[in-house]
Amino acid sequence: MADSDAGTYQLDVTSPEAVRILKALDHPKYNIVQLGDKPKMPISYVANAFGVLALFQLFTYLTLLYYNISLSSRAGTNTLAAKLFLTGQCFEHFGTIGDNLWRLLVSFKRSEVPRPTLRLLGDKVPLVDVFIVSCGEPRDIVLDTVKAALQIDYPRDRFRVILSDDGKDMKLKKACEGIKIKYHNLHYWARKKGKENHGYKAGNLNTAIRKLDKPAEFKAVFDADMIPEPSVLRVLIPHILIDDRVGMVTCAQHHYNIPDNDPLYQANVTGPGADDGLRDSVNASWCPGSGFIIRHDAWFDIGGFPEFSITEDLITSWLLHGRGWKIALVHEVLQWGIQPDCIISHLKQRRRWWTGHIRDSWTLKFSFHERLRGATFVQRFAMFHHCLRPWFYTVCRLGGLLLCFIAMTIGPVVATPRAHSLLNVILVLAFRWFFSTWSDWKSIHHGIFWNLRRRQATNVWLANHFSRDAIQTLIPFGFLGWGKKLGFEISGADKSSTGIKERYVEKRPKEPKERLFGIQRHEGILYHGVVAVVYVIAIVVVLVLEVRNPSPNFWHRIMARIGFPGMCIIEVAPLYLTPIVYTIYPPTMPKRRDCMVYNAELKVWRAAEKYKTIKWTRESWWLEVPHALALTWLVSCMFYLHRLQGSGANELA
């Protein structure tokens, strides 16, 4: 690699002994090479067949429930509970159906050729403006990112680092002026921000770009807490140089402050990692919010970053697709940052994502806005699917939960017009477990099994937690005091208003009760405990009523009501206690500095290798216990009903 004072310690990739260069690309201006040779990823028709069968199983299950209701209604049986349960199951599975349809579309349409690993070599490189966006983050966090950006392995006269500070921190400005004595390519900028309609991060970036003298052809953007790797520009830029229609190139975010077992699912390994990879394989990638490079012409073409959205990263991607621009996702680790270090900040961040997406969905007419007209069918389908997901996994899930709960309290949730009706439904459910087990084995093979279990556990309680917020976003702010105004939560900020720093021994309240009620005042997490307790009470009441019922076949009645495996009580109800258990037994994390290593020569802090991976301990095994118990109950129901049917017993009275 060309020698420069901003990264001479980096590997010299021009040396054949250092790395295997597969070939040099034929570019008219720049020296771009491809490293290594990635094997093709052939389309798995077995996996596609399983995906189709999983959808078929789900539709068969719902159809069978309806068929049993129809037969029972004709016989004059009261089927109100079964009808409520069927409706609740439809609401519950909307998200699953949408996700499966999207994944099936991708699996049949995706490219088998993976994106190559490219490098830009030499001193002849394009101009780049590197923006670091801050808004009140702790000063040491921002300066760590600034200093790391100045050490990017790129000729110093070919890139500028602009700290665009919406917090107007005068001490931060003074610190930058001191650093600028040695690094002349560092610039500090703070706009005059109004109290309203300032465009958030998008407005900050747009103002800074428009104020620049001779803006560079490419703009790289990093959040204030995302430390870029030295090679980031030489890795990303080649992908935007080899295709004039690539308007943006991105990379995934990685974090170095995730506790053991990731109790709040903050690493998001199977979320952005898997989903972004799927979208990239069909030319439908999206911006992750930090660690991306955008072409100036593309930025200008969409009218700048969208200031109407609080989730500007996502909407920028959609607008680029709407104008026919491509987005490339590079599968290399190029930035390390931090996640919110307490549950209150974490929930505020996730709330902004989910409810922000809901508002954007309405603004962009669920992907049918005229500004998205230039998107391909697959890109539009991805947008439409994403517009529906916040509804499917919040309001619909909550509706399904309430309907199923009401159903089990008033009668059998499965209509049983014939002796074998319940057994048939449970056999269909068994196929769902088969597909689920097959998926689990795949996740074990890819090393993400526990990440997947944690995601499933988190989605259960988090979806209901944000249901109220999803409804509130549709109400104008201030209307009857119930509308919701969204805002940012700053990672790493030690706010006294929050009052809870449960991961740090010296800061968190010593008594679990104090922590629990402190977080309850901000987020109402005891609501989830109430849900679990109400379920238990309802189950006990129904059990008592069924014991007193003189009708025969007690276990048959239980399996058609509170014990029906499709209710998923065994595997779901315990998961509602997750935020409460987390608060009572919070993980202990070292201070941020203790998770980093210092390069004394360059005076740069970077993430320590020890904290770049998540450690899964024996404590994570409880995530599997509900699934194991539910599977045991399902098998027990199958054997009991099969034996009952063989004995010639009558159907449920």
> What's the pLDDT at 652?
45
- Full domain range(s) for residue 407: 47-109+391-500+509-585+626-646
3-class state of residue 255 by DSSP: strand
The last residue of a domain, from among 339, 373, 403: 339
Pairwise CA distance, residues 585 & 483, whole Å: 34
- Per the structure block, which two tokens stand in for 231? 């090679």
How far apart CA 613 and CA 616 sit, in angstroms, is: 10
Helices 80-109/397-410 angle, 10° precision: 150
pLDDT digits over 551-602, tens only? Answer: 888 999 999 999 999 999 999 999 999 999 999 999 999 999 999 999 999 9
pLDDT score of 7 more than 60: no
* 131 plus 85 within the same structural domain: no
1 versus 589: the higher-pLDDT residue is: 589
Is residue 83 domain-shared with residue 160, that is, in the same domain?
no
Tokens of 62: 């719902």
Q: Is residue 491 part of a domain?
A: yes
For residue 609, the 8-state DSSP code is G
Q: Judge whether 518 lies within some domain.
A: yes
Domain match, 172 and 71 both: no
CATH of the domain at 203: 3.90.550.10
Residue 49: band (very low, low, confident or very high) from pLDDT cuts 50, 70, 90: very high
Residue in 364, 352, 396, 314 with CA at minimum distance from that of residue 486: 352
Residues 278 and 397 in one domain: no
Q: Do 329 and 292 lie in a common domain?
A: yes
Strand pairing of 31-35 and 117-121?
antiparallel
User: Is 612 within a domain?
Assistant: no
Inter-residue contact 463 to 394 (CB < 8 Å)? yes
Q: Is residue 42 part of a domain?
A: no
Q: Which residues pair with residue 295 across a beta bridge? A: 218
In this structure, the answer to whether residues 470 and 521 fall within a common structural domain is yes
What is the model's pLDDT at position 648?
Answer: 62
Residue that the structure tokens 């509706």 belong to = 399
85 close to 407: Cβ distance less than 8 angstroms:
yes
Q: Please report whether residue 226 resides in a domain.
A: yes
Query: What does the block give as tokens for 571?
Result: 């595997």
- Token pair 């509130």 is at which residue? 472
pLDDT at res. 441:
83
Q: What is the mean pLDDT of the chain?
A: 90
- Model confidence over 253-282: pLDDT tens digits? 999 999 999 999 998 764 445 788 889 999
Q: Return the closest-CA partner of residue 118 out of 293, 219, 241.
A: 241
Residues 6+ apart with CB under 8 A from 69: 79, 82, 83, 86, 415
- Report CA-CA distances (Å) from 228 to 139, 212, 258: 17, 22, 18
Domain for residue 40, yes or no? no
pLDDT of residue 474: 67
Give tens-digit pLDDT for 455-512.
999 999 998 899 888 887 766 554 444 455 555 455 555 544 455 899 999 999 999 9
Average pLDDT over residues 626-653: 83
Considering only CA atoms, which of 275, 371, 277 is closest in space to residue 324? 371
Do 104 and 133 reside in the same domain of the chain?
no
Structural domains in the chain (count): 2
pLDDT for res 481: 47
In a domain, 54, yes or no: yes
352 located within any domain:
no
User: pLDDT tens across 522-532, in order?
Assistant: 999 999 999 99
Instruction: Measure the CA dihedral 359/360/361/363, to 10°.
Output: 90
Scanning 212-311, the segments in alpha helix (DSSP H) are 232-241, 274-280, 296-301
Average pLDDT over residues 96-111: 93
Percentage of the chain lying above the pLDDT 90 cut: 75
Q: Is the CB of residue 465 less than 8 Å from the CB of residue 110? A: no
Residues 327 and 425 in one domain: no
Q: What is the pLDDT of residue 503?
A: 95
Neighbours of 595 (CB within 10 A): 20
Mean pLDDT for the stretch of residues 347-375:
92
Q: What is the pLDDT of residue 438?
A: 84
Q: Show which of 275, 308, 339 is a domain's final residue.
A: 339
Structure tokens at 402: 């309430």
- Pick the last residue of a domain from 339, 366, 381: 339
Integer Cα distance of 557 and 652 in angstroms: 6
3-state DSSP call for residue 23?
A: strand
Specify the pLDDT at position 59: 97
Tokens of residue 337, six digits: 């940052």
Summarize pLDDT for 318-335 with one digit per residue, the tens.
999 999 999 999 999 999
Burial class of residue 611 in the structure, from the number of CB atoms within 10 Å of its CB (0-12 exposed, 13-18 middle, 19+ buried): buried
Neighbours of 16 (CB within 10 A): 8
Both tokens of 167, joined, read 């917090």
Count of residues for the chain?
A: 653
Residue 479 has what pLDDT? Answer: 46
Statement: residue 2 has pLDDT above 90: no
What are the Cα distances from residue 269, in Å, to 254, 255, 363, 653? 9, 10, 29, 49
Statement: residue 106 has pLDDT above 60: yes
Using a cut of 0.85, tell me whether the model's pTM lies above it: yes
Query: What mean pLDDT do residues 21-48 have?
Result: 90
Q: 461 with 488, same domain?
A: yes
Q: Report which of 468, 441, 440 is spatially closest to residue 455, judged by C-alpha positions.
A: 440
Could you tell me if 91 and 183 lie in one domain? no
Residues 439 and 553 in one domain: yes
Pairing label, strands 596-599, 604-607: antiparallel
State whether 319 and 455 are in the same domain.
Answer: no
Strand boundaries in 312-376, DSSP class E: 326-330, 335-337
Shortest CA distance to 327 belongs to which of 127, 160, 133, 115?
115
Structure tokens at 587: 């993980």
What is the spatial distance between Cα 437 and Cα 222, in angstroms, rounded to a whole number? 39
pLDDT reading at 647 higher than 70: yes
Residue-level pLDDT at 12: 38
